[in-house]
Structure 1
Amino acid sequence: MNSLNKQERKELVKKLEKQMQEAVEVLDFELAAQIRDMMLKVKALD
């Protein structure tokens, strides 16, 4: 993740947000929480 530039991190966060929403829609809250945690780590790199 550290090798991603700012634009790539932004795109990754968008993808993760979509995946998290999809997990919530199928009631997979554990997966949604894992994705949220990954998203927070990516955002912390900015």
Structure 2
Amino acid sequence: MKWIEQYPVAWRVALIVLCFLLVGYFEWEDQELFNNMTPLSVEAER
């Protein structure tokens, strides 16, 4: 883990970017699920 000591800022930035990617991926998955469920709820209202 020598590179963490050499680049203290770089690994923090990498960690933040990784978190954003994970959050973005899960948000996208939720959006896909929501889009798939929307027609069902529209049909149920009729």
Q: TM-score, structure 1 length as denominator?
A: 0.49
Answer 1 or 2: higher relative contact order, Cα 8 Å, separation at least 6.
1
